[in-house]
Chain A
Amino acid sequence: MISAAGLTKVYGGRTALDHADFTVRPGVVTGFLGPNGAGKSTAMRLILDLDRATAGSVTVNGRRYRDLPVPLREVGALLEAKAWHGGRSAHDHLRFLARTNGIPKRRVREVLDIVGLHDVAGKRAKSYSLGMGQRLGIAAALLGDPAILMFDEPVNGLDPEGILWIRRLMQSLAAEGRTVFVSSHLMAEMALTAGHLIVIGRGRILADTPMADFIPASHVRVRSPDLAALVRAVAAEDWRARPADDALLVYGVTPADVGDLAYRNGIRVHELSPVHPSLEEAFMRLTADSVEYHGGGG
């Protein structure tokens, strides 16, 4: 469990994180969504005590990170930028990390197998591709078998196979009851991976909600040359609807329901399509609101 209260970070006059309150719970992949520069990496660095908070606090399992007796056993983190020395092999990198936290040597082999770096573990890390470097970071995160895992933009540099692999890895880690906190600016990826969502924009937490609640319900888009008649028919059925340009969006029903209704009332239909709103749309609506709010509120 990660808990932030009023967490604030100012870098030389620029507020990167502005009184953020959030809680990351076990058993579900929590997505940390926001555009580049929104404050995701800042928050993760503050959680790990790499940067000092300007105000507020953040705890991991109720303690500040620096007070954890064996930190790698409690938290594993993949940071956004590369965080290993290119002259050292993956095996040596993991071996020294294991040694600092009293983790047995055989665990190094295990995590190298999990991430699939076994064959190149003896080579110097500077020869690794972007994806291999990412796997080394993931191996380091898994090393202490921690109950909390943080991944900052984990799919960066991974090929499609690698993306699928990390998505399944994160979901299985969450299914084991672990806390999985993953940041991304890629909404499609987030929609596939996360069950809970914390949305951040300009350093502020904009939403903290289950994924299902965040994305609006599916609806039906219907176009007709006789829109007024259609609106009346839909209203007579007591369906929820709203006009959008030259079409009508009808909620809580299927395209078949709307088609049958139109047929019964002799209304011509030019388009009848199911709409499944994406995370992108939900996100855009949310951030558009926050921009308006900022503009209006001064």
Chain B
Amino acid sequence: MTLRRAGFAGAVAGEWIKIWTVRSTWWSMFATVVVTVGLSSLLTLAYTLSYDRLGFRARLAFDPVAYGLAGLNFGVITLGVLGVLVVSTEFSSGLVRTSLSAVPRRSRLLAAKAVVLAAVALAVGLISSFAAFFASQAVFSMRRLGAGIGDPEVLRAVTGGGLYLTLIALISLGAGAIVRHTAGAITSVLGVLFVAPIFGVFLPEDWGRTVQKFLPPAAGSAILTTRETPVTLPPWQGFGVFAGYTALVLVVAFVLFRRRDV
């Protein structure tokens, strides 16, 4: 046998095999594409059919790109679940003890997981985002409402959709490593992403609106917009805020993963 050091490259290669050898990966990838493209198309269709009844203001504020990518907000659930499962099933199955006996450096193992997950999520996210964009713009084009991929800001928004879903997967991985239970981690991720915005609704209007902009889902999905809106931050600023949340969760995850018994 040739002797090679078991370094980071080996850990990444091992995680790469791991992620493709369980069915949940294939299911969540498939579900992500179906849900994002399907819901984007359906919502787009509903909008197109009711366009004649819309007022002037609604038509003016209409962002065909953000609307067409609305389905990505549901892909958040499926890729979030994938991100959680990558870590939480290690604990629920006991596999983590085998994984750590092969890669005893804790940070190396978790970093390898993050790299592999990010690659998979980016690929699925980009496929979903581009597919959702083209499908929705095809529907909009029935009423000549659609935008082209070459229009200003559009490529950034559609690519940003893939990046946003990648961060979602990573923040979920962090939650999985912190909580270590599948159900608990999924609940925390979805709770923060879908329930937290309710707080903003009940705050006094002016600063409620500001808080809302900085809450994770609004900040993260700002990248999907191509028109300025009063309820979201500028695209990259919002994305940066969400990346900050992701980094924070990952730092906590690494610290705890290094420190705790398994």
* A residues with CB within 8 A of B: 45, 48-52, 65-66, 68-73, 75, 77, 79, 81-89, 92-93, 95-97, 99-104, 107, 140, 145
Residues in A with CB closer than 8 Å to B146 are none
| Count of chain B residues near A, Cβ 8 A | 34
Residues in A with CB closer than 8 Å to B101 are 48, 50, 65, 71-72, 75, 77
Contacts A50-B262, A88-B21, A145-B1 given; indicate if A83 touches B11 (C-beta within 8 A): no
Pairwise interchain contact B102-A72, C-beta atoms closer than 8 A: yes
17 A-B contact pairs sorted by A residue (CB < 8 Å): A45-B261, A49-B104, A51-B261, A70-B5, A71-B6, A71-B101, A71-B102, A71-B104, A72-B102, A75-B101, A83-B93, A83-B94, A83-B97, A84-B93, A85-B93, A88-B21, A102-B10
Closest to A86 in B: B93
Pairwise interchain contact A92-B6, C-beta atoms closer than 8 A: no
Residues in A with CB closer than 8 Å to B4 are 70, 102
- Tell me what chain A mostly uses at the interface: helix, strand, loop, or mixed: loop
Query: Which one, A66, A93, A100, contacts B13 given CB within 8 A?
Result: A100
Pairwise interchain contact B104-A65, C-beta atoms closer than 8 A: yes
B14 touches A (CB below 8 Å): yes
Residues in B with CB closer than 8 Å to A99 are 10, 13-14, 17
Interface digits, B2-38 against A, CB 8 Å rule (1 contact, 0 not)?
1111100011011101100111100000000000000
Residues in A with CB closer than 8 Å to B14 are 96-97, 99-100
In the assembled complex, the Cα of A79 lies from the Cα of B93 at a distance in Å of 13
Pairwise interchain contact B100-A49, C-beta atoms closer than 8 A: yes
B237 touches A (CB below 8 Å): no
Closest to A70 in B: B6
Cβ distance A68 to chain B, nearest Cβ, rounded Å:
7
In the assembled complex, the Cα of A145 lies from the Cα of B1 at a distance in Å of 10
Query: Which one, A77, A87, A97, A102, contacts B2 given CB within 8 A?
Result: A102
- Tell me what chain B mostly uses at the interface: helix, strand, loop, or mixed: helix
Residues in B with CB closer than 8 Å to A65 are 101, 104
Pairwise interchain contact B261-A104, C-beta atoms closer than 8 A: no
In the assembled complex, the Cα of A51 lies from the Cα of B11 at a distance in Å of 20
* B residues with CB within 8 A of A: 1-6, 10-11, 13-15, 17-18, 21-24, 89-90, 93-98, 100-105, 259, 261-262
In the assembled complex, the Cα of A140 lies from the Cα of B173 at a distance in Å of 26
In the assembled complex, the Cα of A71 lies from the Cα of B108 at a distance in Å of 14
Contacts A45-B261, A70-B5 given; indicate if A85 touches B104 (C-beta within 8 A): no
Pairwise interchain contact A82-B94, C-beta atoms closer than 8 A: yes
Residues in B with CB closer than 8 Å to A103 are 1
Cβ distance B258 to chain A, nearest Cβ, rounded Å:
10
In the assembled complex, the Cα of A99 lies from the Cα of B99 at a distance in Å of 12
Residues in A with CB closer than 8 Å to B11 are 100
Query: Which one, A45, A49, A102, contacts B6 given CB within 8 A?
Result: A102
In the assembled complex, the Cα of A82 lies from the Cα of B90 at a distance in Å of 11
Cβ distance B99 to chain A, nearest Cβ, rounded Å:
8
Residues in B with CB closer than 8 Å to A100 are 6, 10-11, 13-14, 102-103
In the assembled complex, the Cα of A93 lies from the Cα of B94 at a distance in Å of 13
Residues in B with CB closer than 8 Å to A84 are 93-95, 98
Counting chain A CB atoms within 10 Å of each CB, the highest count among B18, B89, B101 belongs to: B101
Pairwise interchain contact B98-A92, C-beta atoms closer than 8 A: no
Pairwise interchain contact A81-B94, C-beta atoms closer than 8 A: yes
Pairwise interchain contact B95-A66, C-beta atoms closer than 8 A: no
Closest to B89 in A: A85
Pairwise interchain contact A97-B102, C-beta atoms closer than 8 A: yes
List the 10 shortest-distance A-B pairs measured between CB atoms, nearest first. Answer: A102-B4, A100-B14, A92-B21, A51-B261, A96-B17, A66-B104, A83-B98, A101-B6, A100-B102, A87-B22
In the assembled complex, the Cα of A49 lies from the Cα of B261 at a distance in Å of 9
Closest to B104 in A: A66
Pairwise interchain contact B100-A50, C-beta atoms closer than 8 A: yes
Pairwise interchain contact A48-B2, C-beta atoms closer than 8 A: no
Pairwise interchain contact B2-A85, C-beta atoms closer than 8 A: no
In the assembled complex, the Cα of A93 lies from the Cα of B18 at a distance in Å of 8
Closest to B95 in A: A85
In the assembled complex, the Cα of A273 lies from the Cα of B93 at a distance in Å of 52
Pairwise interchain contact B22-A85, C-beta atoms closer than 8 A: yes
Contacts A72-B102, A84-B95, A96-B17 given; indicate if A102 touches B24 (C-beta within 8 A): no
Cβ distance B31 to chain A, nearest Cβ, rounded Å:
16
Closest to A98 in B: B14
Cβ distance B39 to chain A, nearest Cβ, rounded Å:
28
Closest to A88 in B: B21
Cβ distance A110 to chain B, nearest Cβ, rounded Å:
11
Counting chain A CB atoms within 10 Å of each CB, the highest count among B1, B90, B98 belongs to: B98
Closest to B13 in A: A99
In the assembled complex, the Cα of A95 lies from the Cα of B97 at a distance in Å of 16
Pairwise interchain contact B261-A69, C-beta atoms closer than 8 A: no
In the assembled complex, the Cα of A20 lies from the Cα of B4 at a distance in Å of 34
Cβ distance A168 to chain B, nearest Cβ, rounded Å:
24
